[in-house]
Structure 1
């Protein structure tokens, strides 16, 4: 549906309707890993519609798994220096 390649090195995250469960799917070259986290109480901050599909950084994925919103206004912006030889 989203025209994405599950065999890429990307991680794909999915959430249930109640937003109490996250599953992360990743291909490692020889098979798939499935990671799962279920909350005892509360819910994950998850986009409301499939139209809000977005690419996130590993830091943002950690925020999500920690129960935080993807939009942390006080977080430092990531900068990756380029190495020139």
Structure 2
């Protein structure tokens, strides 16, 4: 099970990804298309064209980890906001995995450590 810290950076690669890619292919996509370091402790999310498969690549002490999910029914929903690289929160990723459309989610104000009040 994937259990990162809640403050971890999450990047969605918006274009459809060939799910035959594994550690090396996905880390190359991170370097070339997202211009990020795949060993930097961030999560990188990839979804296939039909939006029925999702992979999350991350690096932890000792090596790469790859988490994947294939839906038996339904699709993953996310709002592609232009460009190949889209920042997500850890909560957004959990909602996508659970099948919740991010556009229909109503968010309420919450305290966040390190942010100005007001």
**Distance in 1 of aligned mates of 2:64 and 2:82:** 23
Would you tell me which structure has more helix in proportion to its own residues?
2
Give CA-to-partner distance per residue, 1:15-64, whole Å, 9 cap, x none: 01110000000100210111011111111013458615211111111000
Gaps of 5+ in 2: 1-32
The residue aligned with 1:59 is 91
| Over 4 Å off, 4+ runs | 47-50
RMSD over aligned CA atoms reads 2.1
CA contact (8 A) 2:80 2:86 kept: no
Matches within 5 A, 1:4-83: 4-48=36-80, 51=83, 53-82=85-114
User: Contact between 1:47 and 1:53, CA under 8 Å: does it hold in 2?
Assistant: no
RCO (CA 8 Å, sep 6+): is it higher in 1 or 2? 2
Q: 53-62 vs 19-28, which deviates more? A: 53-62
Alignment TM-score, normalising by the size of structure 2: 0.60
- Matched residues in 2 for 1:38 and 1:12: separation? 17
